[in-house]
Amino acid sequence: MEQKLQRLLETTRRLLRRGAYSNLTKLLGKIHPADIAHLFRYLNDKEQPLLFGLISEPEVAGYVLAELDHAVSARLLAQLNKQQILELLQNMARDDAADIVQNLPEELAAEILGLMKDEESEEIEELLQYGEDTAGGIMATEIFSLREDLTVREAIQALQDAGDVEMVFYLYVTDEHNHLVGVLSLRQLLTVSPETVLRDIMIRDVISVRVDMDQEEVARVVEKYNILAVPVVDESNKLMGLITVDDVIDVIREEATEDIYKMAGASDEELLLGYQAFKIARLRLPWLLTNLFGGVITGYLMWRFKVTIRDVIALISFIPVITGMGGNVGGQSATIVVRGFATGKIDMSTLRRVLLKEMRVGLIMGMVCGLTVGLVAWGWHHNPYLGLVVGIAMTVAINVAATMGVLAPTFFKRIGVDPAIAATPFVQTANDITGILIYFTTATLFIRYLH
Amino acid sequence: MEQKLQRLLETTRRLLRRGAYSNLTKLLGKIHPADIAHLFRYLNDKEQPLLFGLISEPEVAGYVLAELDHAVSARLLAQLNKQQILELLQNMARDDAADIVQNLPEELAAEILGLMKDEESEEIEELLQYGEDTAGGIMATEIFSLREDLTVREAIQALQDAGDVEMVFYLYVTDEHNHLVGVLSLRQLLTVSPETVLRDIMIRDVISVRVDMDQEEVARVVEKYNILAVPVVDESNKLMGLITVDDVIDVIREEATEDIYKMAGASDEELLLGYQAFKIARLRLPWLLTNLFGGVITGYLMWRFKVTIRDVIALISFIPVITGMGGNVGGQSATIVVRGFATGKIDMSTLRRVLLKEMRVGLIMGMVCGLTVGLVAWGWHHNPYLGLVVGIAMTVAINVAATMGVLAPTFFKRIGVDPAIAATPFVQTANDITGILIYFTTATLFIRYLH
């Protein structure tokens, strides 16, 4: 936390304790709403609603609410009455308001939409129809556009008359049926004669996204073309809304977090649960129990080799290193493939090269690790054959792991399952199984030299 | 890959094979430079330089070069002569040009800077002084600013006269010594009288970043305040450059990738190496060998318990599940903490709550998994005491793992090491060790009931 914020937090807490509420309201009026939202992260469940009630400007309260995690904003809203919620929602951007409404208890949401002006509630209900993770779900609907038959003078006039609309830096141009036909920069308006018709100066190649496009895809478009906003159109190219790049940043962070959580066998839904241990445990347990089942299978396989183990007890010393290294290498390959899929750097057409690369890398690492552990085994138990068995098993296990690390996420992607879940726990459990099989099969083959 | 791009790729390949170069040049003139850059990903090492040579506009070639991965751009540049490289660099944004120069062989870089106009080369050399990962390293220096004593009329005139500068949507206002003193939106200029002086309408609270600020920090500022660009100032508040949000997106993606790679025990430097298996293996091996060492220690500990194992061979059936589950749970907790540090959701002041939460979650999951595996052990080997030992060991191991998953990345952060490396492989190896110790210590305590 920056120092400035640290001091602000301390002051806020002190004033809260003292009950110096009017001082606090004054303080809140002076700091940036983004800083207020940031403060909330560090406040406890009692301080949060208290401070929220002290924000005097409904615009600021709305802004803060939109920035907070769903878990926190839900708790704050639960303490307000309908009229207060209504006022807040009316002071927020429509897309943020829709987000809030979506997370209200169903009955309350319906009541509040009923209290709104028809126009407002219709827009919000329209927004609610789009999937949360689609372009429609994240777009702003307060969009400023210009008809193609306007002159530059008229366009500037319209711009001067426009109220508070989503930031204007690209000006979107439509035909009489609201179809998106062109785009202009504000600066262009200043550099041509006032009588020019927009149609004649607009750029006709507008990059736009469809209202049902997945938000990750939207992020990729914005990123690829380095644009600051992208207009959203429906299936007939009618202009529906606008997504600015600050929304895209949120998407990119969220998706990265989601992937990272999934790779570790957790779920980003946890973020909504705050500190509720039971619910979090319930989210993580199914996956954990699946892995438990995998672990029991690995154990069963070891059990099948109990004669070999009892015979040559030294073999047990290398079980952890063989399964562990297989897991590490497989996890690396899987992670690289999963991340490559997510960023678009890897797709089905480059996959063969990636697979071959990971196999080559696996071969090199397998030989180095195999040689190392083989020498360790030889030196430790004074049996060159044990060294040979351990070394061969390690080399083979690492190669299998690298290959599986590429193939598992690919397989999941092919069958339409998020490849991220194929990363760490899955690949690791699978590699435990293959590692044990490889190790003890090799040992059984060489058993007569191991005594 | 989208269909459009797929078709484009096929056409490009066909024309390349046929040697229809003039057709290709024409085609390239018609498609968006971002799409051209995208095409390069799917072309092989022979096709890439061929196609690059066919881009007729130096601006487009420069744009494409800036968008490509370093590995690819380095390969393309290696095939050009000094004059060609010079021309390309002169047609790129300074910050992109600096990036390219940075990645050239040192001697060539010096020669090319020598060939440039003094002004250009000075600016690039200045940019090269800033660390690659700082605000200075990613800012654009072609920034448009206005003096505070200008009138709106003069400001609009200046805007009309300005050439191609970094996108203008916020107008930064400076005093006579180039200190940043305010900001204006382009739209504001249109809504006030032409004689107004900028000083009287500008917003004085400008959010800016210092030239030496880490790029991750910059990303967090831009994200927090939802701004589309942030001005960069030096220690005396002089305006040095501008970072737009599209650069910030790249930072966020890169940092997420870096973290994800590190969590898996790989390095994002791999991305620069393309398909060079030897170099990639060399990057991954040190970490892998560290884990190998950890695995050998785990094996040594098991070896110390060989009497117990030989005595009750059934114990081996639960080694994989106990070490595996500890690794999974520890990995989950570590991942959540590492990601929390990266996004700013967790810091030292909220850490205690996170630790307590993970410990509670660990307790619940430990009991569920312990009970499950205990029942499995009892049912399988028909020995309730074995079930008890396995169940207790599992419960304790999972609790230790969850705690360690929080503490390990925290410790790394405290001593100034990137906590991401404390995620999967480290925590897993550590948990293998504690898991084995817990399991066999418990078993040794109950040994007389296990026969």
Residue to mutate among B31, B244, B317, with most A CBs inside 10 A, is: B317
Mean pLDDT computed over every residue of chain B: 87
Report CA-CA distances (Å) from B320 to A73, B300, B384.
43, 16, 20
Q: What is the pLDDT of residues A422-439, one digit of tens each?
A: 666 788 888 889 999 999
Q: Is residue A130 classed as helix, strand or coil in its secondary structure? A: coil
- Which residue of B95, B284, B371 to mutate against A (max A Cβ within 10 Å)? B284
| Best A254, A288, A369 residue to mutate vs chain B (most B CBs within 10 Å) | A288
Strands (E), A186-279: 209-210, 229-233, 239-244
Q: Determine which of A286-290, B119-123, B421-425 has the lowest per-residue pLDDT on average.
A: B421-425
In this predicted structure, the answer to whether residue B166 has a pLDDT above a threshold of 60 is no
Q: Quick one: CA torsion of B389, B390, B393, B396, rounded to 10 degrees?
A: -110
Give residue for tokens 């008229």: A154
- Cβ atoms of residues A435 and A299 within 8 Å: no
Nearest to B318 by CA among A100, A114, A295, A319: A295
CA–CA dist A445, A315 (Å, integer): 13
The residue of chain B with its CA nearest to that of A30 is: B205
- The shortest C-alpha distance from A390 to chain B (Å) reads 12
Cβ atoms within 10 A of the Cβ of A18, count?
10
Average pLDDT over residues B269-277: 78
Q: Long-range contacts of range A70-78, CB-CB < 8 Å, 24 or more positions apart?
A: A70/A103, A70/A272, A71/A271, A71/A272, A71/A273, A71/A274, A72/A40, A72/A48, A72/A274, A73/A100, A73/A103, A74/A103, A74/A104, A75/A45, A75/A48, A75/A49, A76/A48, A76/A49, A76/A52, A77/A104
Give me the residues paired with residue A172 across strands. Answer: A145, A183
Beta bridge partners of B180: B174
Chain A residues within an 8 Å CB radius of B260 = 256, 259-260, 263, 335, 339
Chain A residues touching B428 at Cβ < 8 A: 324, 327-328, 428
Beta-carbon pairs below 8 A across chains A and B: 323
Does residue B293 carry a pLDDT above 80? yes
Sheet arrangement for strand A180-185: A145-147, A170-174, A180-185
- B32 Ramachandran zone, left/alpha/beta (phi>0; psi -120 to 50): beta
Across the interface, whether the CB atoms of B250 and A159 are under 8 A apart is answered no
Nearest CB to B295; choose among A191, A207, A325: A325
**C-alpha to C-alpha distance for A373 and A376, rounded to whole angstroms:** 5
**pLDDT tier at B42, thresholds 50, 70, 90:** confident
Task: List CB contacts (< 8 A) between B168 and chain A.
Answer: 187
| pLDDT for residue A167 | 54
β-strand pairing of A239-244 with B145-147:
unpaired
Q: Which residues of A194-218 are buried (b: 16+ CB within 10 A; e: fewer)?
A: eebebeebbeeebebbbbebbbebb
* B272 vs B122, more confident: B122
From chain A, the residues in CB contact with B223 under 8 A are 246, 249-250, 253
Hey, are the CB atoms on B1 and A347 less than 8 Å from each other? yes
**CB-closest option in A160, A227, A257 to B191:** A160
User: What was the pLDDT predicted at A176?
Assistant: 92
B263:A263 CB<8 A: yes
- DSSP characters over B67-99: HS-HHHHHHHHHTS-HHHHHHHHHTS-HHHHHH
Q: What is the dihedral of CA B39, B40, B44, B47, to 10 degrees?
A: 90
- Measured between CA atoms, how close is B321 to chain A, in angstroms? 4
Per the structure block, which two tokens stand in for A194? 């006032």
Determine the residue among A35, A205, A317 to mutate to test chain B binding: the one whose Cβ has the most chain B Cβ atoms within 10 Å: A317
% of chain B beyond a pLDDT of 70: 97
Q: How would DSSP label each residue in B394-451? A: HHHHHHHHHHHHHHHHHHHHHTTS-GGGGTHHHHHHHHHHHHHHHHHHHHHHTHHHH-
Closest residue, chain A, to B266 (C-alpha): A332
Those residues whose C-beta lies under 8 Å from the C-beta of residue A185, and which sit 6 or more positions away, are A169, A170, A171
Contact A320 B298 (CB under 8 A): yes
Dihedral, CA of residue B13, residue B14, residue B18 and residue B20, to nearest 10: -80
CB contact under 8 A, A332 and B264: yes
What residue in B sits closest to A41 (Cα-Cα)?
B345
Distances (CA, A) of A304 to A301, A309, A400, A440: 5, 10, 22, 10
- Of A209, A244, A402, A397, the C-alpha closest to A318 is A397
Report the distance separating Cα A42 and Cα A451, nearest Å. Answer: 63
CA distance B53 to chain A (A): 22
ipTM of this complex prediction, to 2 decimal places: 0.76
Low-confidence residues in chain A, pLDDT < 50 = none
With a pLDDT cut of 90, the percent of chain B lying above it is: 31
| Cα B157 to Cα B159: distance, rounded to the nearest angstrom | 5
Query: Which candidate from B185, B252, B317 shows the least CB-CB separation from A302?
Result: B317
Smallest CA-to-CA distance from A302 within B321, B104, B229 is with B321
Do residues A175 and A181 make contact, with C-beta atoms less than 8 angstroms apart?
yes
DSSP run (H or E) holding B258: helix B245-263
Of A313, A364, A372, the CB nearest to B278: A364
Mean pLDDT of B346-356: 85
Q: How far is A414 from chain B (nearest CA, A)?
A: 14
Whether B222 contacts B248, CB under 8 Å: yes
Other residues' Cβ atoms within 10 Å of the Cβ of residue A3: 7
State how far residue A111 is from chain B, nearest Cα, in angstroms: 31
Q: What is the pLDDT of residue A166?
A: 52
The amino acid at residue A209 is V
Contact A339 B260 (CB under 8 A): yes
Strands B145-147 vs B170-174: parallel, antiparallel or unpaired: parallel
Say what the pLDDT of residue A404 is.
Answer: 93
Distance from the Cα of A114 to chain B's closest Cα (Å) equals 31
Which residue among B224, B249, B321 sits closest to A296, beta carbon to beta carbon? B321
H or E stretch covering A171: strand A170-174
Q: Distance (Å, rounded) from C-alpha B356 to C-alpha B305? A: 33
Is pLDDT above 70 for B244?
Answer: yes
Q: Are the Cβ atoms of B336 and A436 closer than 8 angstroms?
A: no
Q: How many CB atoms lie within 10 A of CB A445?
A: 11
Q: How far is B115 from chain A (nearest CA, A)?
A: 30
Each residue of B203-243: pLDDT tens digit?
A: 998 999 999 999 988 998 888 888 888 999 999 999 999 99
Residues pairing with A232 in the sheet: A209, A241
CA distance A322 to chain B (A): 8
Closest B-chain CA to A280 = B361
Q: How far apart are CA A124 and CA A127, in angstroms?
A: 5
CB contacts, 8 Å: A323 with chain B: 320, 323
Do A248 and B249 make contact, defined as CB atoms within 8 angstroms? yes
Output Rg (C-alpha) for chain A, integer angstroms: 30
**DSSP structure class, residue B229:** E
**Among all residues of chain A, which has the CA nearest to that of B334?**
A264
Closest chain B CA to residue A359 = B277
- Provide the residue count of chain B: 451
Kindly give the residue spans of alpha helices, DSSP state H, lying in A19-177. 21-30, 33-40, 47-53, 58-67, 70-78, 82-90, 94-102, 106-115, 118-129, 135-138, 152-161
**CB neighbourhood size of B415 (10 A):** 7
Residue with tokens 């430097």: B269
Region label for A274, one of left (φ > 0), alpha (ψ between -120 and 50) or beta (otherwise) = left
Q: Which residue of A has its CA nearest to B292?
A: A321
What is the rounded distance in angstroms from the CA atom of residue B309 to the CA atom of residue B305? 6
As given in the structure block, the two tokens for residue B66 are 């800036």
First-residue to last-residue Cα distance in chain A: 61
Domains present along chain B, CATH in parentheses? 3-132 (1.25.60.10), 145-260 (3.10.580.10), 270-450 (1.10.357.20)
Scored b (16 or more CB within 10 A) or e, B76-90 reads bbeebeeeebbebbe
Q: What end-to-end distance do the CA atoms of chain B give, in Å?
A: 61
Cβ contact, residue pair A310, B306, below 8 Å: no
pLDDT of amino acid B164: 60
Q: List beta partners, residue A180.
A: A174
pLDDT at B168 over 80: no
Whose tokens are 């179809």? That residue is: A179
Q: How far apart are CA B332 and CA B329, in angstroms?
A: 5
Nearest chain A residue (CA) to B41: A345
The pLDDT assigned to A231 comes to: 94
Strand partners, A203: A183
From chain B, the residues in CB contact with A219 under 8 A are: 249
Of B175, B256, B213, the C-alpha closest to A259 is B256
Phi, psi of B164 (to 5 degrees): -85, 100
Could A325 and B361 be called an inter-chain contact, meaning their C-beta atoms sit closer than 8 Å? no
**C-alpha–C-alpha distance, residues A326 and A298, integer Å:** 14
pLDDT of A387: 94
Q: Across the interface, which of B245, B265, B284 has its CB nearest the CB of A249?
A: B245
